[in-house]
């Protein structure tokens, strides 16, 4: 076990949800049924929006820890090695969850962490908890759903804010949440930018020629630029903070532009689904799924395949400064 990382605390959306949404009775976003999990070690659906493992699983493996279990499944006993608050459909902004009826918003995830923090103080004492959390990784994968909510048909928020006001609001909300976590001893942050959301099958199928939605991609880039600046500012403002930022957009765009480099063949169509781009119907039991999952970028309408999640985690862990900066997770863990 990598002694340098005693725990991993995961915050975010369906890209890293390991089963929290299974415990949300009203949520419209669940993955606890086939064909999800077809390549998971047990062959069963676990609540991961994937054919197998997701980035949270692979990152835990990299640092030698078990995958952080879903917070909603471990209320009485929170393992010392970390916990996951990530929830499918979650956003930085509380209203984003309205799209999917029920999700654990980022604010609520941080509220839950406050309870875990108190639990750790009881268990380890305040000095012990501080030392444990200062060495732990705080992984934050969020923002895509906020942008989906803005650029989706009949979007209410797009009537209220200009795109620039909206991405600024996302960034300022993110900053407040990081500062709250820092106030509860979090020191090492792993932050991922938003991917090429206009190129997922759910968006491509809305265009006549299956092209990417340019506007959604442009604002994803603008949000990511703001996020990078915000992290640099926080580093100046909070003396003990360290972070690794992962350029999800750049890596995903590179896979789309040069798929053969990564052993990927199909970058447009989903593997699991039905209809146009296999994205008219989501990955539910009546859907069909491809046999060649290792050469698809997308598992379903919006989520990557297991192989792509693994690729992301590898680059996040020990990638060059081109994709993960100012340092990668391997370097962050050693600080």
Closest of 18, 153, 145, 154 to residue 79, by C-alpha:
18
Do residues 103 and 31 lie in contact, with contact meaning Cβ atoms separated by under 8 Å?
no
Choosing from 117, 132, 296, 303, the catalytic residue is 303
Known catalytic membership, residue 111? no
Closest of 253, 252, 265 to residue 309, by C-alpha:
252
Neighbours of 259 (CB within 10 A): 16
Known catalytic membership, residue 14? yes
Do residues 299 and 271 lie in contact, with contact meaning Cβ atoms separated by under 8 Å?
yes
What is the C-alpha separation between 19 and 66, in angstroms, rounded? 15
Residue 34: both structure tokens together: 């086939």
Choosing from 14, 84, 136, 309, the catalytic residue is 14
Do residues 148 and 90 lie in contact, with contact meaning Cβ atoms separated by under 8 Å?
no
Spell out the residues 6+ positions from residue 97 whose beta carbon is closer than 8 angstroms to its own.
Answer: 89, 90, 91, 103, 104, 105
Known catalytic membership, residue 4? no
Choosing from 13, 300, 309, 310, the catalytic residue is 300
Do residues 201 and 279 lie in contact, with contact meaning Cβ atoms separated by under 8 Å?
yes
Catalytic residue IDs: 14, 300, 303
């Amino acid at each position: 076990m990598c002694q340098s990382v005693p725990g991993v605390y995961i915050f975010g959306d369906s890209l890293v949800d390991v089963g929290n949404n299974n415990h949300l009775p009203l949520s419209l976003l669940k993955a606890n049924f086939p064909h999800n999990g077809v390549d998971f070690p047990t062959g069963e659906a676990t609540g991961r929006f994937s054919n197998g493992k997701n980035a949270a699983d692979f990152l835990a493996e990299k640092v030698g820890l078990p995958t952080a279990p879903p917070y909603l499944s471990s209320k009485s006993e929170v393992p010392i090695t970390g916990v996951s608050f990530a929830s499918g459909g979650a956003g930085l902004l509380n209203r984003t969850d309205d799209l999917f009826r029920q999700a654990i918003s980022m604010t609520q995830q941080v509220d839950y962490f406050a309870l875990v923090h108190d639990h750790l103080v009881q268990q380890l004492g305040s000095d012990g908890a501080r030392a444990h959390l200062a060495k732990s990784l705080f992984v934050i994968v969020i923002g895509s759903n906020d942008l989906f909510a803005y650029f989706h048909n009949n979007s209410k928020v797009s009537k209220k804010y200009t795109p620039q006001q909206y991405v600024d609001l996302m960034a300022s909300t993110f900053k407040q949440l990081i500062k709250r976590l820092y106030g509860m001893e979090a020191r090492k942050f792993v932050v991922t930018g938003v991917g090429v959301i206009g190129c997922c099958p759910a968006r491509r199928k809305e265009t006549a020629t299956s092209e990417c939605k340019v506007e959604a991609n442009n604002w994803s880039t603008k949000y990511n630029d703001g996020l990078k600046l915000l992290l640099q500012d926080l580093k100046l403002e909070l003396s003990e903070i360290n972070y690794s930022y992962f350029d999800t957009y750049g890596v995903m765009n590179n896979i789309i532009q040069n798929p053969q480099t990564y052993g990927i063949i199909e970058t447009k169509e989903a593997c699991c689904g039905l209809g146009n781009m296999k994205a008219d119907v989501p990955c539910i039991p009546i859907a069909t799924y491809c046999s060649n999952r290792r050469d698809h970028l997308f598992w379903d309408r919006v989520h990557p395949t297991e192989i792509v999640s693994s690729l992301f985690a590898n680059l996040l862990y020990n990638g060059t400064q081109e994709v993960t900066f100012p340092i990668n997770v391997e370097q962050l863990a050693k600080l």
